[in-house]
């Protein structure tokens, strides 16, 4: 086992967690959410998506969110890397204007998924990102590549073990520096995770790989453990488990940050995060957008905190 002693969590709640919410969420709430996450210790924060507001109206205020965060004096001394999803050159230009330190391009390990979602093949999607990568290099912006459906696809079903590794190599060739291997529909199990992540790591190096797991079937923590045992030390998570799975109605989506932190701390792995503060933030944002608080570890921690106060 090569379990790392320290793990970095990329908090995706403000972007991936909120983007599919139908009811508009005030910019001030998004800024406050990001602020609380940073104060809890998050230093890599996916805060925006520079995509068409016609298709993702919830993300239309990304530049305002980032501007609001950078204007807060209490955050000035904190070293935070803000990232944003960018689908094309126009999105990249907007991200640069907003002052992001990381940009995220996205494709998939499934041809069926790319055809259904972005109307092109995997190869064509990577080709589209070439000018984005060139601009990222010119502005010294860290470029991540998200590989969706690495462990299963809602359209084609099984995805070959080597598919994500092949996509990672294509992305590396155009200048992508970090590879987010995503179980988009949460169907992965530990053995398959080990196989897929080993394949990707053999192509681009384990230290350049991040795990992005959804908890649709309750397997996210087991899958994170499987990736940890290979030496993966960067994972994505979403405060309060925000973000449902659009391909499984009623199912949970992103793994909750609180649950991941509880597991990692229990293993003696450092995260630099304050679990109690994360729990309070998770409860606050869930209430603010009218969602039940679903983090299992979070609910247990909150119950314990309340009982201690009463005692």
Q: How far apart are CA 77 and CA 79, in angstroms?
A: 6
161 CB-near residues (< 8 Å, 6+ apart): 192, 195, 196, 199
Alpha carbon dihedral 141, 147, 148, 152, in 10-degree steps, equals -160
Is 153 annotated as catalytic?
Answer: no
97 CB-near residues (< 8 Å, 6+ apart): 63
Are the beta carbons of 185 and 153 closer than 8 angstroms?
A: yes
Q: Pick the catalytic residue: 34, 149, 153, 245?
A: 245
Catalytic residues: 245
């Amino acid at each position: 086992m090569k379990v790392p002693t320290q793990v970095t969590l990329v908090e995706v709640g403000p972007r991936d967690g909120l983007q599919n919410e139908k009811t508009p969420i005030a910019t001030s709430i998004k800024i406050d959410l990001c602020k609380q996450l940073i104060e809890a210790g998050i230093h890599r924060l996916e805060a925006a998506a520079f995509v068409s507001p016609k298709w993702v109206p919830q993300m239309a205020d990304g530049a305002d969110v980032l501007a609001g965060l950078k204007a807060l004096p209490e955050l000035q001394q904190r070293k935070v890397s803000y990232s944003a999803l960018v689908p094309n050159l126009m999105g990249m230009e907007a991200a640069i204007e907003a002052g992001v330190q990381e940009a995220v391009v996205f494709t998939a390990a499934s041809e069926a998924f790319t055809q259904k979602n972005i109307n092109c093949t995997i190869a064509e999607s990577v080709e589209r990102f070439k000018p984005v990568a060139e601009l990222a290099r010119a502005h010294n912006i860290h470029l991540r590549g998200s590989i969706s459906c690495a462990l299963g696809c809602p359209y084609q079903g099984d995805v070959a073990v080597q598919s994500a590794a092949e996509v990672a190599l294509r992305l590396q060739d155009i200048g992508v520096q970090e590879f987010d291997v995503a179980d988009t529909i949460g169907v992965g199990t530990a053995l398959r995770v080990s196989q897929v992540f080993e394949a990707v790591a053999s192509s681009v190096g384990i230290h350049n790989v991040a795990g992005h797991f959804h908890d649709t079937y309750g397997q996210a923590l087991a899958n994170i453990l499987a990736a940890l045992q290979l030496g993966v030390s960067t994972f994505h998570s979403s405060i309060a488990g925000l973000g449902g799975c659009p391909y499984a109605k009623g199912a949970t989506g992103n793994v909750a940050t609180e649950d991941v932190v509880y597991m990692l701390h229990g293993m003696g792995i450092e995260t630099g995060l304050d679990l109690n503060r994360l729990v309070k933030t998770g409860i606050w944002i869930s209430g603010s957008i009218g969602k039940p608080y679903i983090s299992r570890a979070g609910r247990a921690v909150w119950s314990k905190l309340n009982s201690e106060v009463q005692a």
